[in-house]
């Protein structure tokens, strides 16, 4: 699975991935090896970065993005509200994420 998934990023300029959260009930064999995905992406010539969660990913991702870039955020959950936080950070240009009160 990891190699096939890594090939899906062939047309990307770069890729930022996060380690998925693990529940105690998740068998290790069922978890995606994000390190293997990042290695596959990198070996295929696309710069790839692995971070541990939305909080760790938002800074490096917002620093990489430039006006006119397209960013695709995929998640099967809320992912730390990354979508909204990233848009806010890019819009205000401060480099700081505004935390909800």
Residue 32 has a CB neighbour count (10 Å cut-off) of: 13
Nearest to 46 by CA among 13, 79, 83, 89: 13
* pLDDT score of 94: 57
One pLDDT digit (tens) per residue for the chain, 101 residues = 889 999 999 999 999 999 887 777 777 777 889 999 999 999 999 999 999 999 999 999 999 999 899 999 888 788 889 989 999 998 887 554 444 43
* pLDDT score of 79: 85
| Contact partners, residue 52, CB within 8 Å, separation at least 6 | 18, 19
Q: Which two tokens stand for residue 65?
A: 């993005």
Q: Where are the domains of the chain?
A: 2-92
* pLDDT score of 41: 97
Give the separation between CA 40 and CA 56, rounded to whole angstroms: 21
CATH of 2-92 given 2.115.10, 3.40.50, 3.40.1010, 1.10.3470: 3.40.1010
Give the separation between CA 86 and CA 40, rounded to whole angstroms: 26
Q: Which two tokens stand for residue 34?
A: 């994000």
């Amino acid at each position: 699975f990891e190699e096939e998934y890594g090939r899906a990023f062939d047309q990307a300029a770069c890729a930022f991935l996060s380690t998925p959260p693990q529940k105690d009930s998740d068998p290790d064999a069922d978890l995606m090896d994000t390190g293997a995905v990042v290695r596959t992406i990198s070996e295929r010539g696309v710069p790839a970065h692995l971070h541990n969660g939305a909080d760790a990913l938002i800074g490096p991702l917002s620093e990489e993005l430039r006006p006119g870039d397209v960013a695709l955020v995929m998640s099967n959950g809320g992912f730390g509200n990354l979508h909204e936080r990233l848009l806010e950070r890019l819009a205000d240009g401060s480099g700081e994420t505004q935390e909800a009160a």
